Amino acid sequence: MKTLYLDNAASTPLLDQVKSKMFDVMTDCYANSSSIHFAGVQSMKEVEKARELIANSLMASSEEIFFTSGGTEANNWVIQSLCLRRDPRRNVIVTSKIEHPSIRAPIQWVQDNWGMEVIEIGVDSNGVIDLNELKDALNHKVLFCTLMHVNNEVGSVQPIREAAELCSKLGIAFHVDACQSFLKLPIDLSVLELTYLTINAHKIHGPKGIGALYMRKGFELPALIRGGGHELNHRSGTLNVPAIAGFGKAVEIQKSKPATFNELTDNLNWLASQLQVEFPQCVINSPQLNRAPHILNIRFRGFLGKDIFWALNKAGIAISNSSACSSNKMTPSHVLKAMGLSDEENLESMRISIGLLSRKEELQNLIHKLKEIIK
């Protein structure tokens, strides 16, 4: 059975050139990158090459990029380390109602265990935060603000530039989870007043288990993982050189072909229009404008999302009936609830997400299969 993968917001398949790079590094760069002999130096050269590629893609300095095991670790690092060294007069965290679980869970933990106060900013029907509400929430009691750049369920793009300016005026640290936007939307850290930024590899056709945290110079965080003092004493643990090299290669490939994401946008817009033409019951939950180029959240009135999900799965088509981290739970999405959808509308919803390897012919196959399911 020919399969079709349309769950790229959860994870993306490796590009062939990334596979080749990782295989070569696994074969040739087997030494510990912390070792000072020639073999260790060879491994470290691969690490530093990837670090520079990632830094350049963000218009940052390579000294500001620190490797982690993924986006979840980077997000936890920011939240827990900032709270550990907080000024007692700054005991408030500002975030939004639509954040990823890797933000929501550690915030809940520091709230329960360290008595942090949390303010969640609401969103409109397009899943975009209210900047006036954010402005009202920010004051000298706020320790930091954390917002995602692109929502992983509906693809709404948050106004991080404006939010960064508001935080900067009050000297508030500002963290952005950019795992869904990295290389898909412009991020220029030479002009954005961000303090911390989270990215990972497996959303950009790189390997799983590797991510990075950008820390602006002068705002370095204390280590959350202690040990041998790797990553300039900021994050201990033997570096995963093949994964880091694969991360760098994925960045290098995509930065060399900037027009690729125009095709991604065109394909998603085509899919959205075709769904509405072919299915009168189809409602687009994602914003019509100012959305990420790869995520489309939809619902079919009168049909449970899980039923369509399983029918497509049986036909070899992979989508998501919620965010991947909670896809085994039939509970309404906190993101769609924040956008004002009822529980019934929420449970009708599903997410289609495309990637660099998605083709329009494949999206046409999705339309054909949906016609068989929705009668």
Catalytic residues: 325
CA distance linking residue 157 with residue 91, whole number of Å: 28
**CA 100, 102, 107, 113 torsion-angle sign:** positive
Copy the structure tokens of residue 216: 């602006």
DSSP code for 2: -
For the chain, the maximum distance between any two Cα atoms, rounded to a whole number of angstroms, is 67
CA distance linking residue 80 with residue 361, whole number of Å: 45
| Beta strand residue intervals within the chain, DSSP E | 4-5, 65-68, 92-96, 117-121, 142-148, 173-177, 196-200, 211-215, 282-284, 295-300, 317-318, 349-353
Q: How many Cβ atoms sit within 10 Å of the Cβ of residue 302?
A: 9
Using DSSP's 3-state secondary structure scheme, residue 322 falls into: coil
22-40 in b/e form (b: 16+ CB < 10 A) is beebeeebebbbeeeeeee
Copy the structure tokens of residue 48: 């530093």
Q: Give me the phi and psi of 86, to 5 degrees please.
A: -65, 150
Q: Give me the phi and psi of 146, to 5 degrees please.
A: -130, 125
Please provide the DSSP assignment of 73-112 as one string: HHHHHHHHHHHHT--TT--EEEEETT--HHHHHHHHHHHH
